[in-house]
Amino acid sequence: MRRGFRWGSSRTAAFALAALLCAGAALAAAESVTVIVRKTSIRRDRQFYAPTVAEAALGDSFTVLAREKGWVKVGTGSGEGWLHESAVTAKKVAASAQAPAGGKVDAQDVALAGKGFNPQVESEYRKKNPQADFAAVDRMERLGASEKAVAAFLGEGNLQPRGAGK
């Protein structure tokens, strides 16, 4: 019996090693996004009124599985879902260990900074637009509608989600 080099098994081993290296590189290069709003829903479909599959909060990070028409498909602990691009950023968002002079960084500051809006920008905007009613903006930010209310609105208006009936 002859012992020695077995070409078939070495090729298989080399191929397996190459595949593992490629998979590792792909994982290392995987795109991720961070939530920049206080709270948002991860939706079953790419629609604001699609059922929620999970909730996401400020600072939560997700691996991007796909991007389509203003939506980002992400993996969650319970599966997959869609986040709207306006609720996330590819930038790293974290509160600095050093708070700005005279105060602390809170979740709202981080969210605004992630969108490029900060107290200095707001101050400048107020100076240039003294008629702006920020109280009205604050009231609008507190408004919300439950998924049940949105579903009722759609039903009463005889509105159908995109792609329904096709």
User: Which domains are seen in the chain, by residue range?
Assistant: 31-95+105-159 (2.30.30.40)
- Is residue 8 pLDDT above 70, yes or no? no
Tell me which of 58 and 96 has the higher pLDDT.
58
pLDDT for residue 54: 93
pLDDT for residue 165: 52
pLDDT for residue 110: 60
Is residue 46 within 8 Å of 74, Cβ to Cβ? no
Of the candidates 136, 93, 143, the residue with the CA atom closest to the CA atom of residue 118:
93
Q: What is the pLDDT of residues 79-127, one digit of tens each?
A: 999 999 999 998 766 544 444 444 455 566 565 555 566 677 777 778 8
SS3 assignment for 55-107: EEECCCEEEEEEEECCEEEEEECCEEEEEEHHHEECCCCCCCCCCCCCCCCCH
Q: What is the pLDDT of residues 61-90, one digit of tens each?
A: 999 999 999 999 999 888 999 999 999 998
Cβ atoms within 10 A of the Cβ of 32, count?
A: 12
Cα dihedral sign, 16-20-25-27: positive
pLDDT category of residue 155 using cuts at 50, 70 and 90: confident
Which of 6-15, 66-75, 87-96, 136-145 reaches the highest mean pLDDT?
66-75
CA–CA separation, 149 and 151 (whole Å): 5
CA–CA separation, 3 and 144 (whole Å): 75
Q: What is the pLDDT of residues 28-53, one digit of tens each?
A: 457 999 998 888 999 999 998 888 99
Both ends of the chain: CA-CA distance in Å?
67
The letter for the amino acid at 9 is S
Verdict on whether the full-model pTM lies above 0.85: no
Residue given tokens 């100076």 in the structure block: 127
Is residue 66 within 8 Å of 73, Cβ to Cβ? yes
How many alpha carbons lie under 13 Å from residue 147 in its C-beta half-sphere? 14
CA–CA separation, 54 and 77 (whole Å): 9
Mean pLDDT across 130-145? 79
